[in-house]
Amino acid sequence: MWAGSGARPPTGSAGKAATTKYLGGHSDITGGALIAADPAVGELITRHVGMMGTMAAHQEAWLVQRGIKTLPVRMRQICESAQRIAEFLDAHPRVRRAHYPGLPGHPDHALAAKQMPGGFGGVVSLVVEGDADAAGRVCERTKVFTLAVSLGSVESLIEHPARMTHCTTAGSALGVDESLLRLSVGLEDCDELIADLAAALEAD
């Protein structure tokens, strides 16, 4: 319930954003932000936070501010590396499909190019040849990519959604391909990241 009026603000007058991922950028906070364009809505949010005590702790707020200072330079490197990795995966014989809006073959590439002129983000996914076990073995073999379900940090991560984040959706409309892997590209040397994926894919 919104404090003061007992009603929620008009649709579209406020938005939310995670500060845990790219804004913090170092895997050391959990947090979020509410952003209001309308000052009246902002006042409702402020009163609600004041009464409920749901504001970020001082340390977490400071860590987010610290992360924001390096966000542009981190994102430039992350996007550059993600683009190279996506192109590598798209051409790899053991990858059935690579998903990344920076690839010309992506169905929303033109829209992404219009909306994301500075780069296409740091999340890349791929569908490997084979079954869920084959995908799992790729995760097990990586040395630079760490097996984890988060994203948006300085460390590069790999996850197997069918056995991790989406393990309860198998057989439903929300299910994902059992051979799908998701990457969150970090700040490690891009050549090392590509070599790590190449070794993991080619081991069979």
C-alpha 155/C-alpha 157 separation (Å) is 6
My answer on whether 42 and 83 are in the same domain is no
Residue at 7 is within a domain: no
Q: What is the pLDDT of residues 40-55, one digit of tens each?
A: 999 998 898 888 888 8
Provide the mean pLDDT of the chain.
91
pLDDT digits (tens, 9 = 90+) for 179-198: 999 999 999 999 999 999 99
**125 is written with which tokens?**
């996914």
Is residue 50 located within the same domain as residue 103? no
Same domain for 93 and 165?
Answer: yes
161: left (phi over 0), alpha (psi -120 to 50) or beta: alpha
pLDDT of residue 112: 97
* pTM exceeding 0.85: yes
Q: Are residues 164 and 124 in the same domain?
A: yes
Structural domain for 51, as ranges: 14-56
- Measure Cα distances from 54 to 25, 45, 47, 48 in Å: 22, 10, 11, 8
Q: Specify if 64 maps to a domain.
A: no
